[in-house]
Structure 1
Amino acid sequence: MRIVISGSDTVVGRLLAARLRTAGHEVDGDADLRGADVVVHCTGLDGPDDASLAQAVDAAVGVGRFVFAYSGPRRRRDEELLRARIPDAVVCRSGLVLGRDLGDGLVLLLARRALPAGGGSPLSVVHVDDVLRILVEAAGGPEKVSGTIEFAAPDPVTPAEIAEALGRSTTRSTRRDTLAQWFLGCPVLDAAQRPVAWSAPACLADTALAVRGRIAIGGRVWNAPWRLPRVRTADIPAVDCPASDGVLPVFTGPVGGNGEFDTPIDPRFPAFVATNLSEALPGPFTPSSASVTVLGARAGGVTIARQLRPGGVVEREIAARTVGVFGHRLYAAVTSAHFMAQTVPFTDPMLVLGQFFGRTVHQLPIFGSAAPPAGRAGMLAQLRNVGVFGGNLVGLSAGSVRDTRDFVADVDAFEAELQQDLSVVTEPQLADLIRRGRDLVVYGWVLASASIMLCSAYSVLLRLLTGRDTTPPAGPEVASARSVDAIRRLAAIARRDPEVADLLHGPVLDLAEIERRAPAFHRALTGELHRIGHRGPAEVEMSSPTYADDPALLLRIVTRTLDTEQDVPPEPTAVAPHVRPVAALAARQLRDREDRRDKMVRAIWLLRRLLREKGRRMTAAGVLAEPEDVFYLLVDELDTPLPDAATSVARRRAEQARLTAIVPPPAFSGRWDAQPTAPASLTAGTELQGLGICGGRVRGRVRVVRPDTIDDLQPGEVLVAEVTDVGYTPAFGYAAAVVTELGGPMSHAAVVAREFGFPCVVDARGATRLSTGTLIEVDGATGAIYVLDA
């Protein structure tokens, strides 16, 4: 059906359009109504409605279905007009539409320091997810609906209760305040007529996420300088739209190399690098991962653009394309990052980029043949950058602990809620839980993006103070190192108990037998899995197993650690007295970054459980062939199912198999071509140069690994990878050394190696051309790698 949405520029309108498109409908916004099958007029769901219903009704006479949705005071005249002109129209009277995807008008009202209390009369509320579910049914459902529908959460709430839930005070002054008067005029509706999934208290708690970090002053909503508000999914720009100056995005891959979820790029912003993203989300990824992690990375770009405010095409580029997807693999946009780095005052942007991307970016053409828009230049630009840099450094540093604490609490509360038996949860409730989990992950990426900004800022300060790149250790409590500590604790128990060691070295790792014969070790293992079970190789790929899914993987790492000599503690990093305060702040931000990332991965782990429950139900209903097929659907396709989900799953599985053989290079500019499947190996006498992180000279045989082959690494071998993520960390303890082809001083491998003194070299271009079994010597201090015997 062709559906026209009047109010398509509102938050509800944008979200409704996305769901209707998922269901297979053609959707237009405020377009010519002639030829439309359905018209949805929803401009009145977010505050006083300035749009003319009469004009829409006149234009819509003769369409198959007209849906008029509004909240706030009863609009009798509009309803009478509608009934007179279109007798079978659907009127949807909604409670006050709340939730984390709050509309602009209500954000402006509820972000105030004091909310209007009026006479304290109760009013009905409803969650935006329930509103969308009902509107999809009214507009695009197979059964034609007519008449009037009232829907709201049970138990109306008072304005004072809303204010208390949002941490606001109340005021009785509403003179000349149209929005406040509309708000106070919301009536109590018949909640029993159309049951909804969200309770009123749950609506209020979810709305608190929408206004957290936002302040309404002078008729505008401002982000508090010390907080990071969440990004509404409706505010993440599409990547296939032209730039603000009309330049069309283009695909960059070879014929047949672009996948369904690949992104076109603005040719003026051509440079991309895989960095840690390629291992956290190795390709080709599943569609469920695209709808979670890729969305989160893009939300992080929106946050960075809002914080840096470079303006114009550059700001939109940062917001829309901070990351790119090529061959269904995730890349960071180097050109956009270069413009971000230009906002750091009196500093070469390449120095900032090198902290995260290593020397790889120095070998890439950052700009294309077409000139990018000119940025601000001169002393005025530098002074502006000083203000932006200082504001972000002071403001976000001041609020980072609170942001992290609140996010940890949000994920912990969500996990506690999921302790229930999911098999008895209703379908609408399960759909809402999945969306909540998705949005938690997205906000985790927002926080992680801010951490990258802060860590960059402190790196610049330390370089200015010391005259060289200085990265202070984050301390043994850093979250990314917890799995190493867990392995060491379990190995220590096994060393003290010969029976445990025998069980671990047996031909089969039998958890039941370990529990029976070594209960103390089994309890310790259960405790460690509770703490780090959400982690594992390729841990942000939704279909990947974690240590909790496969405890045997963790036990094999413990077994190999038993056969490795105990590590020598690293030498403490010397920091000059005048630098110590800044170094301490930098270390805190690094710990913050890892804490946020850890909790974000925990949220993915919880979401993975919800998706599997949905997959189980869809399989039982005959929609999918097996529960794991659910990972080949987008999150938005679960609540508003595709017309033929099984066909889409089969097509996407085939596409994933096809893209597996088409591997983009780790870095490129402008256009990419698939790498050869068997690149020429390095021969004896070859020397590679990377960035030395720590450790002395060690020798060992090479083991080139990916997330799915990390279990092949044997004690004493040199772990060689394109990049590493936290899922690799436990293997660091029995590797002779760690070598990565990509990465800089702030990359994951570097952070963990510094904490434990593991010999490590990053940014060693060409390292993955080493053949497994090759004998090499690694100098962790200088970054030199010598091929001794190929």
Structure 2
Amino acid sequence: MSEWPINNAVSPVFPLYSRANVGEIFPNPISPLNASAGFQHNLEPGWRDAFVACKVWDDSFYDKSQVPITVLPAFGSYLYINMSLMRLFGARVPGMSPEAVDLQYFGDMPGIPSYESERRDFDEDPVFEEKAGQWLAEEVLGATGLPLYDKDRQEVLEIRRNRPDISSMTDQELRDRITSFDYILRPLFQRHIEASLKCGVGLGAVAQFAEAVGKPELSLVLVGGLGDVDSAIPSNKMWELSRQAQAPQIAAMFDEGVTGLRERLAASPDPTVAAFSANLDAFLDEWDFRGSAEWEIRAKTWSLTPEVALGTINSMRSVVDSESPQAKNAQRAKEREEAVAGIRAALESDPEALAQFEATLNGSALWMRGRERARTTAAMVIHEIRLPALELGRRGAAAGHLKNVDQIFMLFASELDDYLADPASFTEILAEREASYLDLFNYIPPFVVAGEAPDLSTWERVDSGPVPSLPAGGEIAGVAGCNGVARGRARVLLSPDDPSALEPGDILVAPITDPSWTPLFVAAAGVIVDVGAPFSHAAIVSRELGIPCVVSATGATKRIADGALIEVDGTTGRVTVLEDAPSTAVGAF
């Protein structure tokens, strides 16, 4: 892989691709080094392995395509998911369907070619449908724990504990470490995708039970407030830090601003400040890998930019105790138990259906946890690639071979040895490649690719002009992510890097969210995202924290003015502008 920008082949057999879901973790273009040594390099084969493990087809299936990458290609260096393959998965799993896959995994995508328009003559396969049924019964509904996921976590924690002193490693040792984690990343990604597929099946089955008893509105309540969801853990720990930061001597230091705050805290002789500083350091050490687009090795995580984490803690300081993540989760858990009791009562006369409901409920909760656990564990490994790459970049920049540290991420893995042998020969190549990479951020990738990837020159530009904001009374129809209704001022944020912009009671309006956004949810009264599905990160975390959420609210960041008074109805999936913004600020993607 060395073509730049990265444009993988479109499969003639499975020609439909979507940015939904993958846009959560890769809102930006993938860097060459991450594509060839980290994420795409390992997730592509891991995803193939996951489909086989789910028994919807076997390894010989991939020979039909004759295209090297079909599951997770990049077009214009932006990653896409093969929607055709996901639909085929839905067609072969009993109780699922291609249409259910569209809703659970991709959200509301008007104008997408129907499944019927691409149906293949081999899609229905009784042999694999029977095998998939066995997989569903035994591994989705019959599972009782996450032993492999727990084992993976322990193995990765051991890797982190035994991390060598990166700064003392030779250039060759750094280069070797960058490419040394394939052995664990591929199976980690396989398990992440398996859990994702199982979770989607579980959510769909729960929704069917809610529909069957005449309570479709309970489908999301039944999977809320689960607890023990990895992506929500940092929010709880940040909350604890925010309570400690209310101490007068610590609050005064926060009031001076977060820039340089960590250093000021560490230098303070005050014992209260010193205790807080030690707790903060422990938090940043534990969650050093967390950050926006954290599966991109070029991303700046909390350990590299602690001001982002400190800014979020600062925003939490003014949130009242009754709005704690724990309190919200407890309320959502109570609502879930009440909903479960209601459906149990409705199914009491049908023991078989009741047993199926219990298995479905347990399976959906288990695999939601499994998905977030594997996702977090993989992010830890990606950080182990990031650190040696950064050190190699620092050395290259110090020697004048690179114009900045981050240009190291513009190398492809196949170029690492040549770079070590003659780094000066890459100076201009990497500078040109970086300029091209940064320019890609100015494009809006087409949300769907059907049949042929459009040339980059035809893509819409970010700076193509403002979009008129919705007036008072205007609405956006999205997809329900978490039940409930909230009113508040819209706060349109395009990244989680400025948490100070979000005040308690605001409604967060974002293009898409990944785990680094999660702590912002604590202060928010509601969440709206442009792209998403009931299965996406924003919806899962909102259900844990009990925050009304609407996903797949197409164009919300463009059409809702920052500061407008809005209502988010997470039960119906509707967003309504109640009052114009006090200024003319317009959200922009």
Q: TM-score, normalised by structure 1?
A: 0.62
Partner of 2:256: 506
Determine which of 194, 197, 203 is the counterpart of 1:453: 197
Q: Aligned equivalents of 2:257 and 2:167: distance in 1?
A: 37
| Paired residue secondary structure (2:9) | coil
Q: 1:485 to 1:785 in 2, by over 3 A?
A: same
Q: 1:710 to 1:747 in 2, by over 3 A?
A: farther
Q: Which residue identity does 1:328 align to in structure 2?
A: S
Determine which of 199, 221, 224 is the counterpart of 1:473: 224
Determine which of 352, 361, 375 is the counterpart of 1:583: 361
The 8 Å contact of residues 95 and 205 in structure 2, kept in 1 or not, is answered as no
Q: Aligned equivalents of 2:209 and 2:5: distance in 1?
A: 47
Q: Aligned equivalents of 1:728 and 1:587: distance in 2?
A: 22
Tell me the C-alpha RMSD between the 2 structures. 2.9
Q: 1:441 to 1:636 in 2, by over 3 A?
A: farther
Alignment of 1:474-623 (within 5 A): 475-495=226-246, 497-509=247-259, 510-515=261-266, 516=268, 517=270, 518-565=273-320, 566-567=322-323, 569=328, 570-571=331-332, 572=334, 573=336, 574-575=339-340, 576-577=343-344, 578=354, 579-620=357-398, 622-623=400-401
Question: How far 1:605 sits from its partner (Å)?
Answer: 1.5
Partner of 2:129: 385
Question: How far 1:315 sits from its partner (Å)?
Answer: 6.2
Q: 1:539 to 1:508 in 2, by over 3 A?
A: closer
| Paired residue secondary structure (2:79) | strand
Q: 1:611 to 1:596 in 2, by over 3 A?
A: same
Q: Aligned equivalents of 1:368 and 1:584: distance in 2?
A: 33
Q: Which residue identity does 1:462 align to in structure 2?
A: V
The 8 Å contact of residues 175 and 416 in structure 2, kept in 1 or not, is answered as yes
Q: 1:667 to 1:556 in 2, by over 3 A?
A: same
Q: Which residue identity does 1:432 align to in structure 2?
A: D
Question: How far 1:593 sits from its partner (Å)?
Answer: 1.2
Please tell me whether residue 443 in structure 1 is matched to residue 187 in structure 2: yes
Summarize deviations over 1:132-159 as a string: whole Å, max 9, x none.
xxxxxxxxxxxxxxxxxxxxxxxxxxxx
Summarize deviations over 1:554-575 as a string: whole Å, max 9, x none.
1111111122334152333122
The 8 Å contact of residues 296 and 444 in structure 1, kept in 2 or not, is answered as no
Determine which of 30, 42, 48 is the counterpart of 1:302: 48
Please tell me whether residue 781 in structure 1 is matched to residue 571 in structure 2: yes
Summarize deviations over 1:37-59 as a string: whole Å, max 9, x none.
xxxxxxxxxxxxxxxxxxxxxxx
Name the one with the larger strand percent.
1
Q: 1:483 to 1:708 in 2, by over 3 A?
A: closer
Alignment of 1:6-405 (within 5 A): 260-291=5-36, 292-307=38-53, 308-309=56-57, 312=61, 316=65, 320-360=69-109, 363-366=111-114, 373-377=120-124, 381-382=125-126, 384-391=128-135, 394-395=138-139, 401-405=146-150
Q: Aligned equivalents of 1:391 and 1:415: distance in 2?
A: 34
Name the one with the larger helix percent.
2
Question: How far 1:601 sits from its partner (Å)?
Answer: 0.7
Partner of 1:421: 165
Q: Aligned equivalents of 1:460 and 1:761: distance in 2?
A: 18
Question: How far 1:550 sits from its partner (Å)?
Answer: 1.8
Q: Aligned equivalents of 1:427 and 1:408: distance in 2?
A: 29
The 8 Å contact of residues 356 and 746 in structure 1, kept in 2 or not, is answered as yes
Summarize deviations over 1:154-178 as a string: whole Å, max 9, x none.
xxxxxxxxxxxxxxxxxxxxxxxxx
Q: 1:693 to 1:279 in 2, by over 3 A?
A: closer
The 8 Å contact of residues 275 and 357 in structure 1, kept in 2 or not, is answered as yes
| Paired residue secondary structure (2:444) | coil
Summarize deviations over 1:78-101 as a string: whole Å, max 9, x none.
xxxxxxxxxxxxxxxxxxxxxxxx
Question: How far 1:400 sits from its partner (Å)?
Answer: 7.0
Q: Which residue identity does 2:499 align to in structure 1?
A: D
Question: How far 1:532 sits from its partner (Å)?
Answer: 2.0
Partner of 2:403: 625
Question: How far 1:729 sits from its partner (Å)?
Answer: 0.5
Determine which of 460, 465, 490 is the counterpart of 1:675: 460
Question: How far 1:472 sits from its partner (Å)?
Answer: 1.7
Q: Aligned equivalents of 1:367 and 1:259: distance in 2?
A: 32
Summarize deviations over 1:342-364 as a string: whole Å, max 9, x none.
1112433211331121122x630
The 8 Å contact of residues 736 and 759 in structure 1, kept in 2 or not, is answered as yes
Question: How far 1:611 sits from its partner (Å)?
Answer: 0.8
Q: Which residue identity does 2:151 align to in structure 1?
A: D
The 8 Å contact of residues 178 and 389 in structure 2, kept in 1 or not, is answered as yes
Q: Which residue identity does 2:78 align to in structure 1?
A: R
Q: Aligned equivalents of 1:613 and 1:296: distance in 2?
A: 23
Q: 1:400 to 1:267 in 2, by over 3 A?
A: farther
The 8 Å contact of residues 21 and 106 in structure 2, kept in 1 or not, is answered as no
Q: 1:738 to 1:585 in 2, by over 3 A?
A: same
Question: How far 1:389 sits from its partner (Å)?
Answer: 3.2
The 8 Å contact of residues 663 and 675 in structure 1, kept in 2 or not, is answered as yes
The 8 Å contact of residues 311 and 500 in structure 2, kept in 1 or not, is answered as no
Q: 1:605 to 1:384 in 2, by over 3 A?
A: closer
Please tell me whether residue 648 in structure 1 is matched to residue 429 in structure 2: yes
Summarize deviations over 1:61-91 as a string: whole Å, max 9, x none.
xxxxxxxxxxxxxxxxxxxxxxxxxxxxxxx
Q: 1:295 to 1:400 in 2, by over 3 A?
A: farther
Larger mean CA deviation between 420-429 and 296-305 belongs to 420-429
Partner of 1:138: none
Q: Which residue identity does 2:231 align to in structure 1?
A: S
| Paired residue secondary structure (2:11) | coil
Alignment of 1:682-721 (within 5 A): 682-684=469-471, 685-694=473-482, 696-707=484-495, 709-711=497-499, 713-715=501-503, 716-721=505-510
Partner of 1:760: 549
Determine which of 173, 177, 186 is the counterpart of 1:433: 177
Please tell me whether residue 727 in structure 1 is matched to residue 516 in structure 2: yes
Question: How far 1:713 sits from its partner (Å)?
Answer: 3.0
Structure 1, gaps ≥5 residues long: 1-17, 23-257
Q: 1:661 to 1:427 in 2, by over 3 A?
A: closer
Partner of 1:659: 440
Q: Which residue identity does 2:445 align to in structure 1?
A: P
Q: Aligned equivalents of 1:324 and 1:299: distance in 2?
A: 12
- How many matched pairs? 528
Q: Aligned equivalents of 1:562 and 1:298: distance in 2?
A: 42
Question: How far 1:427 sits from its partner (Å)?
Answer: 4.0
Question: How far 1:737 sits from its partner (Å)?
Answer: 1.5
Q: Which residue identity does 1:625 align to in structure 2?
A: K
Q: Aligned equivalents of 1:392 and 1:284: distance in 2?
A: 35
Summarize deviations over 1:362-411 as a string: whole Å, max 9, x none.
63014698x6641243xxx3464132232365247759723212321321
| Paired residue secondary structure (1:698) | strand
Q: Aligned equivalents of 2:264 and 2:245: distance in 1?
A: 15
Identity of aligned residues (%): 26
Q: 1:327 to 1:319 in 2, by over 3 A?
A: closer
Please tell me whether residue 407 in structure 1 is matched to residue 407 in structure 2: no
Q: Aligned equivalents of 2:489 and 2:563: distance in 1?
A: 5
Q: Aligned equivalents of 2:67 and 2:536: distance in 1?
A: 21
Summarize deviations over 1:198-226 as a string: whole Å, max 9, x none.
xxxxxxxxxxxxxxxxxxxxxxxxxxxxx
Q: 1:274 to 1:376 in 2, by over 3 A?
A: closer
Q: TM-score, normalised by structure 2?
A: 0.82
